[in-house]
Amino acid sequence: MPMIRVNDVALLYEVADAPGEPVALVHGPWTDHTSWRQVVPGLAIPPC
């Protein structure tokens, strides 16, 4: 997974190949990026 540093904080990110505006999803302190697996497909559907 790619990583960038912002203000001395390492951020891992993932890019979904979908049209439209980008969306940033931030998980809580007791979970990880896998908590968004069920949500991402619904967000990737283009609006009607």
Domain parsing of the chain, residue ranges: 18-48
* Pair 3, 10: CB distance under 8 Å: yes
What pLDDT score does 8 carry?
A: 93
3-state SS assignment for residue 5:
strand
pTM for the model:
0.55
Average pLDDT of the chain is 83
Structure tokens at 3: 């990583």
- Per residue in 1-23, pLDDT (tens digit) is 789 999 999 988 888 777 777 88
